[in-house]
Amino acid sequence: MGIDKPSAELVEAIESAVTWFDKVKITGIKVVERPDASKPNGRDKIVEPEPGAPPVWARFYEIGTIRPIFCGRDGVIKYSLAEIEHERRTGYAWYGTWPAKLLERDYPEWQKKNRRK
């Protein structure tokens, strides 16, 4: 979005990306780190329901289904964070708010700058 006078193809790519981010956002959950003395590092990370929580996005999505996917060091795809071994579950950012700033601030500014006449 930093290119001045983007081509029609670039505009379409940006618009498509924003549409995709909106389509795959996940609402109604939050990722919580909890103390857990039974775990090696004394904590665990879980996903729990949270109505009204800000949207999050998964780090990885399955091609064709756009379901969030997770995998441990064995490379086997799982569909739930709880299925991943503890070390990978707590040592990696599987969910995040990465696109939020882009969608809330950067994209609207880009739209204003690049209105098609």
Note the pLDDT tens digit of each residue in 1-36. Answer: 999 899 999 999 999 999 999 999 999 999 999 999
Q: What is the pTM of this model?
A: 0.88
Residue 6 in domain: no
Residue 106 in domain: yes
Number of domains forming the structure of the chain: 1
Report pLDDT for 116: 62
Q: Which domain holds residue 37?
A: 25-110
Residue 2 in domain: no
Q: Dump the DSSP string for the chain.
A: ---SS--HHHHHHHHHHHHHHHHH-B-SEEEEEEE-TTSTTSEEEEEEE-TTPPPBEES-B-TTT--B-EE-TT--EES-GGGS-HHHHHSS--EE-TTHHIIIIIHHHHHHHT---
